[in-house]
Structure 1
Amino acid sequence: MDKQNRRYYARIYGIVQGIGYRPFIYKIAKELNLRGWVSNIDSSVAIDIEGPSEKVEQFLIRVIKKPPKLAKIDKVEIIEKDFKEYKEFKIKKSIQRKSKLKFIIPDLATCNECVEDIFDTKSNRYRYAFTNCTNCGPRYSIIKSFPYDRENTTMKAFKMCPSCNEEYISQDSRRFHAQPNCCSKCGPRLILIDNRGNKISCVDEIKETANLLKEGKIIAIKGIGGFHLVCNAYDEKAISNIRLRKKRPHKPLAIMVKNIKKAKEHCIINIKEEELLLSTRKPIVLLNKREDSKLPQNIAPKVNKYGVMLPYTPLHYLLFNEGLDTLIMTSGNISGCPIEYENNSAISKLKDIANYFLLNDRDINTPIDDSVVKVIKNNEVLIRPGRGYAPISLNKNVQNKILACGADMKSTFALSSDGIVYGSQYMGNLKELDSFREYEKAIGNLEQLYDYNPQVIAADMHPGYLSSIYSEKKDEIKYKVQHHHAHMASCMLEKNIYERVIGVIYDGMGLGLDNNIWGGEFFIGNRESFQRRGSYRYTSIQGGDSAQENIWKIGLSYLDLIRHSRLKKQAINRMKTMVKDDIEITCKALKYNINCYKTSSVGRLFDGIASILGVIQNISYEAQGAIELEAIAAEGNIESYTYSISEDKLLIVNIETIIQEIISDIEKGTSRSIISAKFHNTIINITIEIVCKLRDEYGINKAILSGGVFENQYLLINIIDKLQGKDFEVFFNNLIPTNDSGVSFGQVAVVNEILKKGV
């Protein structure tokens, strides 16, 4: 063998399939006159390359260091082999083996080239709603098994016409091995029907749908991952109808706008937010409202943000080309239930909400909702993992095979194997039977795709969680992880932190080690274990599950802390004027500790203050009280309320004086916006004081902020700023959600560390 010639076999793992990587590699090999082959093996790309050593080295650097923009390389293996004297370089047929590492690419928004195709009158995809290429289109929602080839997707049902097949096999085509490749001759078709199942006769379903939207109709439109309920965003009556029929009276509705220019007419948008709106993921981005926006108030009542996304399928672009510029685009489901994704089920369950259905005959194998993100201190923060993001794959050196079942609210699950943690899409509230069924199905689906058999199961400590009950049905070894430790560990996993930290976990609720409900915690610990070193004083909340919606019961529970009899009596009398129900029964139940539970939850404290202030008494979606309380907080106010911190075995935050001073402010006529700001500032001051005390005691300078309450931007940003001002290293969740969608990742981190150390 010529010493100047070399042959290498490389395996590249990560997001490397369905993005045009093989033709990219092929072109570089041909350009450098190298020989060998490239192929998909399971979900990796394998390359056998030989030629002059200098050119082979150049090839490998270009392929690995500068891959296609959609690639995400997690691992590369390169082995030198004996020279084989290949005659050419070619793309070989995909191979299916039992490889360890597998990656699924998320669904991708329509690329600019495909947008040009659908508006090009000379293109065979002119006005075709399912146009895609290797750079865009459905992926996770249609894949059934590896390798990612057409026959392993729901597109198997559509045989490509000669023209599409020529593109598919042509290595110079943008659609080379684009698995969902199709056109109007051979691909999926649109069907427009009314809510009684009658097909609407029309020349163009998209034009007819646009006309119906202009007339104030509600249309259930099948998309990549499921159905949306859609109406004209300027039509206040149509929006009210969606709310009434969907039983979603207050929760903000997502909007889709024609382009970035239109988004800027409704919202204040910074550079990072614009980048996210325009990205290939096209998530819903939470943006500050413009005061001069012409949109109706009932889109997002009593909050100061809109959830905005840009078009991400050809169908969206075509609809907006028909004289529309802003649409309500909310999940196609009955409130609290999972998103509908099968035609017959959607027609059955949404017929009383939608006037019409725009269906198609491409099956969705895995339903997936839109992702929701926001920007905090110029960092992307994922709130709901969905289309474009899920399944999440993180290279985090987790070697053990762990199935983490997550929590029950905002549920996700996670799998780990061979260094990678895979996180599922948002699964909703598992208390809804349909959501739990989809949760079970999704776990089975990913286990099949990854050929995955866990060694151990991780679950929440709460025995009543359906995710915990699901874990008990499994035969593998079980580990129970405390809810707030999982929150802390989720951030540590994301930020690659192993040493001890100060954990500040503000949350709604999670079962504590003492069987009380925690949610305002200060931990000292690492991934493996923690010590609870601080907490908000327990408050007895009356009402059990009913208090989650009737938060006036939580408000009354906090008023019960007041020792000043006159203030307490006046506050309760004021509460009677704001609540329709008879509150005397609740007062007596509090007195005799009937149907009460003890909690340190900061989330419940926010609910209580929202009620006491009269912001809201009965909520229709999770954290509504806290969200509306944050929305009214006065900017620039630096005042706060009095609190005390006592120490026995723990640092305990006493909140009685906070409640009393809030009542005094109400009596003085202080505005709700000032009181809200003062309350927020008080929580910030408490946090800083305790974290500083813990640093003095333990010499730890790293602080973790996690838990659902930290979705509150006012709280999060000010705590970060003040801690950094005191020279703390501060970490908060970005890609792993800070809310309960991140719990499964934290469970993986905790159990993996326990297994490593053999505890």
Structure 2
Amino acid sequence: MKRCRIEIEGIVQGVGFRPFVYQLARRHHLAGWVLNDSRGVTIEAQGDTAAMEDFLHALRAQAPPLAVITRFKTRPCPLATEDSFVIHASNETAERRIQIAPDTYVCGDCLAELFDPADRRYRYPFINCTNCGPRYTIVTGVPYDRPLTTMADFPLCADCRREYENPASRRFHAQPNACPACGPRLSLHDGAGRRLEVPDALGQAIALLRQGRILAVKGLGGYHLVVDAANDQAVAELRRRKTRDEKPFALMSRDLEAVRRYAWVNEAEEQLLLGVERPIVLLPRRADHGLSPRVAPSNGFFGVMLPYTPLHHLLLEDQFTALVMTSANLSDEPILFEDGEALTRLSDIADAYLSHNRRIHTRTDDSIARILAGRAVLMRRSRGYVPRGILLPQAQPTVLALGAELKNTICFTQENRAFLSQHIGDLKNLEVLRGLEHSVDHLGRILGLRPRIVAHDLHPDYLSTRFAEELPEVRRIGVQHHHAHLVSCLADNGRDEPAIGVIFDGLGFGADGHIWGGEFLLGDADGFERAAHLAYLPMPGGDAATREPWRMALSALAHAFGESLPEPAFFPTHAPGDLRLVRQMIARGINCPLTSSCGRLFDAVAALIGVRQRISYEGQAALELEQIAAEGEQGRYAYELYDRQGPFVVDPAPLIRSLVEDLGQGVAPGVLSARFHNTLAAMIQEVCGRLREGSGLNLVALSGGVFQNRYLTEKTLPLLERDGFTVLTHSLVPPNDGGLALGQAVIAGRLAARQQQS
């Protein structure tokens, strides 16, 4: 006989792990017990030695589908007198290492019950089990038990209680378990927020959508604004009311067959759509898509997701090819998730509200992903992925990292794990800052962490930096923006050694006080050297230049042509006085901060060739420039690479002059775009080759928002690999600023560890 104590950490609560252990132990005729605690799951089991060995193997090999084991420790212990195996109540311990599961799409078993007229949960919009349903958005504390979730508001009926207490049921200790007799219920409200007494709230909501009305629908992590995507008038009205001129709307369709009516889906994209995380996936749209052209104007892609809640399945059942399913928020504010606030603040947008009485504790947007170079890459890491941990190359002190201003996320580290928060938003107002504060408090509480080391961006005016400055009794560590990008990419790939970091993005506060964004770094978590960068260009008007790409176009022309600046025939719709004023600002250096940003170079080229003079959302000019690039075009432009007793400088002046010459000869915009992208890829290849000669480094990390660009990424990778480089790209965390907090946390942790050792 043998008895073992087994301590398991990871995502092992709320995923059916205890009933799995119980049934496995009974199958192997073992005695003992299993319980949840603040670290994960603890087991004591005893029985025949051979049976125990089989049991230990099966614990790992046959774990429930949503379980993720990150630590598995066994040790022998004295035999006991039990003759059965039982499940004990949860036990709170001082040390907290619990990992809560992400919110998960409705499983096949629950879907079968949902549409089975003989089942007691037939068409119940909140059906779930231990293999699916809400998790992170309803958790209020740990251990993960019903009293510490928002389901505490719903006492179980006798039937649900029997399932909840039966280890043989797949609803054993499924904390969101409920049914029509005891669980959450739908309600329909009019545009003024008054509850409508209708016999079928869902049916009435579907009827309103078919009439072209705008609905606010409460989901897992907040409200969505919903209209029929094929109804052009409804989509246009949603844009008008939401004052969202051109930014694409997300779509939801009931299945892959419906998606294929309006978008092209390859095998990798299909797997991403069908994954348990159910992200929004960027798909090339069909020319004959049949949806409103206002869903994604001037865009060759649709952002598409499949239903992930039973309510979504019921909304889409035999009804619509696709529904617009966009986050319900006001401009630059986070998604609305509290009922009272939604009913008030959406009153000028929504015609009606389809709501329910299950509270959302933590707002969570939908995740966004695309396939780049055959690999799934997250553009926004949120629902379905958070708070799943990321394995770090090595253990480090506990750190809280606060991210940057745009696409803000935060990150906690615990030993060799990093925990990124859900997407919080752009830190431009008080509402988003409150979202950051809630995330710091909530994620820290469920992880049991109160770090004394806080990492933040070097920019002194970011709200995240100011938040760090107000935290009491902590050590603050400022981290350079692009260094954090480099280390984020290394950590995303489980790498720790020095690399050449090609970091191309929009804006980041540089170590020299200028605005960086077209950087070649040499380094790792221990430090970095700026080895090369794009030449500085003035940003006339500062932030105004990010909203009006024509300003960067004038700046690029002035840089390329100097005194012989050509007449601005590129801007026929601009008042001559405005052009003259901006040219004077550039010439005199008035309100023209210098930037090496590759993102601003994209803006300049997009404006020069007539793609976009002004933008209505961040990154729009670069996105549209990418999408018109002519496939198969091999031409490229010249650039100058020189060394001025410091970092190499890549000067785009020859590129701009050649582009202007092509424009004068009537070359098509798609060809111009392709040649520009090809030039950047060749430039990256050459600069990395030069840097390898001096440093001996053969590892390249590509990071920053520019590497969300499919054309550029897929042109650059083969060029570098052909030269023998090992190339790292992002996957688990976004290449944009949404992944920045991971790099900040690792850098700060490494610095603290070194200082502790010295």
Shorter-chain TM-score bucket reads over 0.9
Deviates more, 1:248-257 or 1:607-616: 607-616
What pairs with 1:153-232 in structure 2 (closer than 5 Å)? Answer: 153-232=149-228
One-letter identity of the residue aligned with 1:646: Y
Equivalent residue, structure 2, for 1:529: 527
One-letter identity of the residue aligned with 1:730: V
For residues 519-575 of structure 1, what are the alpha-carbon distances to aligned partners after superposition, in whole Å with 9 as ceiling and x for unaligned?
001111121101111011111111112222122212211121132655x333x1332
1:328 partner SS: strand
Separation in structure 2 between the aligned mates of residue 753 and residue 562 of structure 1, nearest angstrom: 42
Displacement after TM superposition at 1:211 (Å) = 0.7
Equivalent residue, structure 1, for 2:648: 651
2:578 partner SS: coil
Q: Which of the residues 487, 490, 495 maps onto 2:488?
A: 490
Check 1:563–1:580 CA distance in 2 against 1; reply closer, same or farther (3 A cut).
closer
Displacement after TM superposition at 1:43 (Å) = 4.7
Equivalent residue, structure 1, for 2:439: 442
Equivalent residue, structure 1, for 2:620: 624
Separation in structure 2 between the aligned mates of residue 744 and residue 366 of structure 1, nearest angstrom: 19
For residues 637-694 of structure 1, what are the alpha-carbon distances to aligned partners after superposition, in whole Å with 9 as ceiling and x for unaligned?
0101111101121111111111111111111111100100011111111100000111
Separation in structure 1 between the aligned mates of residue 574 and residue 666 of structure 2, nearest angstrom: 16
What pairs with 1:271-286 in structure 2 (closer than 5 Å)? Answer: 271-286=267-282
Q: Which of the residues 742, 749, 754 maps onto 1:752?
A: 749
Displacement after TM superposition at 1:578 (Å) = 5.1
Displacement after TM superposition at 1:198 (Å) = 2.6
Q: Which of the residues 74, 90, 93 maps onto 1:78?
A: 74
Equivalent residue, structure 2, for 1:128: 124
2:196 partner SS: coil
Equivalent residue, structure 1, for 2:513: 515
Q: CA RMSD in A?
A: 1.3
1:599 correspondence with 2:599 = no
Displacement after TM superposition at 1:757 (Å) = 2.2
The answer to whether the 8 Å contact 2:521/2:531 transfers is yes
Separation in structure 1 between the aligned mates of residue 225 and residue 49 of structure 2, nearest angstrom: 58
Displacement after TM superposition at 1:624 (Å) = 0.3
1:398 partner SS: strand
The answer to whether the 8 Å contact 1:398/1:421 transfers is no
For residues 474-511 of structure 1, what are the alpha-carbon distances to aligned partners after superposition, in whole Å with 9 as ceiling and x for unaligned?
22111111000000000111222222211110011101
Equivalent residue, structure 1, for 2:731: 734
Separation in structure 1 between the aligned mates of residue 577 and residue 387 of structure 2, nearest angstrom: 45
What pairs with 1:638-677 in structure 2 (closer than 5 Å)? Answer: 638-648=634-644, 649-677=646-674
Which structure 1 residue ranges, 5 or more long, are not aligned? none
2:539 partner SS: strand
1:355 correspondence with 2:351 = yes
Displacement after TM superposition at 1:100 (Å) = 3.8
Displacement after TM superposition at 1:439 (Å) = 0.8
Separation in structure 1 between the aligned mates of residue 571 and residue 480 of structure 2, nearest angstrom: 36
Check 1:48–1:213 CA distance in 2 against 1; reply closer, same or farther (3 A cut).
same
2:570 partner SS: helix
The answer to whether the 8 Å contact 2:396/2:750 transfers is no
Deviates more, 1:555-564 or 1:489-498: 555-564
What pairs with 1:370-449 in structure 2 (closer than 5 Å)? Answer: 370-396=366-392, 397-449=394-446
Separation in structure 1 between the aligned mates of residue 200 and residue 269 of structure 2, nearest angstrom: 35
Q: Which of the residues 263, 273, 284 maps onto 1:288?
A: 284
1:503 partner SS: strand
Displacement after TM superposition at 1:377 (Å) = 2.5
Check 1:178–1:72 CA distance in 2 against 1; reply closer, same or farther (3 A cut).
same
One-letter identity of the residue aligned with 2:140: K
Separation in structure 1 between the aligned mates of residue 356 and residue 261 of structure 2, nearest angstrom: 33
Equivalent residue, structure 2, for 1:713: 710
Q: Calculate percent identity across the aligned residue pairs.
A: 39
For residues 697-727 of structure 1, what are the alpha-carbon distances to aligned partners after superposition, in whole Å with 9 as ceiling and x for unaligned?
2111111100111011111111111111111
Deviates more, 1:218-227 or 1:436-445: 436-445
For residues 102-125 of structure 1, what are the alpha-carbon distances to aligned partners after superposition, in whole Å with 9 as ceiling and x for unaligned?
211100001111111111111111
Equivalent residue, structure 2, for 1:467: 464
The answer to whether the 8 Å contact 2:542/2:593 transfers is yes
The answer to whether the 8 Å contact 1:392/1:424 transfers is no
The answer to whether the 8 Å contact 1:578/1:614 transfers is no
Separation in structure 2 between the aligned mates of residue 686 and residue 723 of structure 1, nearest angstrom: 11
The answer to whether the 8 Å contact 2:373/2:710 transfers is no
The answer to whether the 8 Å contact 1:217/1:231 transfers is yes
Displacement after TM superposition at 1:65 (Å) = 2.6
Equivalent residue, structure 2, for 1:699: 696
2:104 partner SS: coil
Equivalent residue, structure 1, for 2:501: 503
TM-score if structure 2 supplies the norm length? 0.98
The answer to whether the 8 Å contact 1:398/1:749 transfers is no
Q: Give the count of matched residue pairs.
A: 753
The answer to whether the 8 Å contact 1:302/1:631 transfers is no
For residues 273-320 of structure 1, what are the alpha-carbon distances to aligned partners after superposition, in whole Å with 9 as ceiling and x for unaligned?
111111221111111112221122211111211110001111111111
1:549 correspondence with 2:522 = no
Equivalent residue, structure 1, for 2:236: 240
Check 1:579–1:712 CA distance in 2 against 1; reply closer, same or farther (3 A cut).
farther
Separation in structure 1 between the aligned mates of residue 663 and residue 709 of structure 2, nearest angstrom: 23
For residues 28-78 of structure 1, what are the alpha-carbon distances to aligned partners after superposition, in whole Å with 9 as ceiling and x for unaligned?
110110010111112501111101111101101001232112111111111
Equivalent residue, structure 1, for 2:10: 14
Equivalent residue, structure 2, for 1:304: 300
Separation in structure 2 between the aligned mates of residue 715 and residue 135 of structure 1, nearest angstrom: 39
What pairs with 1:48-127 in structure 2 (closer than 5 Å)? Answer: 48-127=44-123
The answer to whether the 8 Å contact 2:570/2:610 transfers is no
Separation in structure 1 between the aligned mates of residue 608 and residue 217 of structure 2, nearest angstrom: 42
Separation in structure 2 between the aligned mates of residue 579 and residue 321 of structure 1, nearest angstrom: 53
Separation in structure 2 between the aligned mates of residue 92 and residue 98 of structure 1, nearest angstrom: 18
Displacement after TM superposition at 1:335 (Å) = 2.5
1:445 partner SS: helix
The answer to whether the 8 Å contact 2:95/2:448 transfers is no
One-letter identity of the residue aligned with 1:605: L
